[in-house]
Structure 1
Amino acid sequence: MQQFSSREKYLVSNTLNCWPVMLQGHPVLIDLQNETSVAGVIDVADGHMTCELSNAVFIDRNGGQHPFDHFMVRNRMIRQIHIPTHLDAEQELRQAMERGVLRRKRMDPKGGKRTFKQKRAEMRHKETLQMISQQKERTKQEI
């Protein structure tokens, strides 16, 4: 597993910056701020959402495709990450919450109480999961 700084651990644990980390090894399409896109397999992602892709294809504004062996996308250039269709977003987030990717480890060896930030982050993750499941139900009803 990667070594994250304390700030990166916080971002991965408490925000949706966990997606690039969870999508490592999967092919993705990333839309960039300058209306271009990059498709490739995420090799390395950090807590700030900076991604390194292998076997990448850069798609410019005119639709031209330019292959790269390695391509790095800075966090501030990312507009949207398309989650692959073969992955279930709701299930992936639930598994991440259960295995602790989205939970911060307590520093207190006795266990101690969770902080307000930890409770709020968990509540927000649950709300996100609920919105995803509602959206799934709507799409099933439309079909």
Structure 2
Amino acid sequence: MQNFSSQEKYLIANTLNCWPVMLQGHSVLIDLRNETSVAGIIDVADGHMTCELSNVVFIDRNGGQHPFDNFVVRNRMIRQIHIPTDIDVEQELRQAMERGVLRRRRVDGGNTKRTFKQKRAEVRHKETLAMITQQRSDKEQPKE
């Protein structure tokens, strides 16, 4: 288990920065901002979305493929992470939301009220889940 800083824990629990952490051990395709891509297995990811991958194939702009044993992708270079089709996105997000900072209660008996940021993050998580559910139901409905 990795040791995350308090800022990383907050980002993982309250933003979509949780995806690289949840995808550790899975094979993914990451599109980079410079029009290149990296395909490999995420070994380590932090709360800022910096990813260390193994068994990597780097795909350049011209479609050339270059194999690497290890590759590090900095968070600011990530444009998009393609989530594998065998992962249920809705279920994973629900689990991440349930175990996140939004549900945490202080052990020391301090103030247990949620802050405005926590409330707003929970609302945004719920909106994202509703959008995913709506898109899924639209795909499943037969077209006329």
Same fold, TM-score > 0.5, yes or no: yes
- Counterpart position of 1:74: 74
Which aligned runs of 4 or more in structure 1 are off by greater than 4 angstroms? none
Structure 2 residue runs of 5 or longer lacking an equivalent are: none
What TM-score do you get using the length of structure 2 for normalisation? 0.92
- Aligned residues of 2:27 and 2:41 also touching (Cα < 8 A): yes
What TM-score do you get using the length of structure 1 for normalisation? 0.92
- Counterpart position of 2:93: 93
- Counterpart position of 1:103: 102
* 2:62 maps to amino acid: N
Distance 1:39 1:102, change over 3 A: farther
Report percent identity of matched pairs: 77
| Alpha-carbon distance in 1 for matches of 2:101, 2:109 | 21
CA RMSD in angstroms comes to 1.6
Distance 1:18 1:53, change over 3 A: same
Distance 1:102 1:130, change over 3 A: farther
Count of aligned pairs: 142
Distance 1:41 1:102, change over 3 A: farther
* 2:115 maps to amino acid: T
Structure 1 residue runs of 5 or longer lacking an equivalent are: none
Shift of 1:102: 5.4
Per-residue Cα deviation, 1:45-89 (whole angstroms, up to 9, x for no partner): 000000000101000011111111100000000000000000011
